[in-house]
Amino acid sequence: MVTQITSFGRSGLYDWMVQRVSAIVLSLYTVFILGYLVMNPELTYDQWSALFEATWMRIFTLMTLLSIGVHSWIGLWSISTDYLKATGVRFFFQSLCGLAMFVYITWGIQVLWGL
């Protein structure tokens, strides 16, 4: 058993499962948005804003935002433990990734409720 405290869920199985579930959410959202844009070639601001005012869309979008956060955290954490061998550099990189994800999620929520 290898001990880890900086991985997302401390357990390999949990991280692996979250990675896959978040990937499904991300692909569903991508397909939905692309489909919506294709179905509405003459999209207006009112239409777009009405879409994001709907509660289900906000739930779906927030879920996607959180999925981006955890998915990239698990992925970048893996990359950092593969390639960054100096503990200080690795921890700095991981902290930077954590900060970026937190900023993106907070900013995303602001945008989502501001539209």
Residues that bind another protein (CB under 8 A): 1-4, 7, 10-13, 15-17, 78, 81-83
CB of 82 to another protein, least distance (A): 4
- Cβ closer to another protein: 15 or 25? 15
CB of 81 to another protein, least distance (A): 7
Rounded Cα distance, 11 and 6, in Å: 10
- Cβ closer to another protein: 78 or 95? 78
- Cβ closer to another protein: 20 or 31? 20
CB of 76 to another protein, least distance (A): 13
Q: Which string of DSSP letters, residue by residue, matches 23-90?
A: HHHHHHHHHHHHHHHHH-TT--HHHHHHHHHSHHHHHHHHHHHHHHHHHHHHHHHHHHHHH--SHHHH
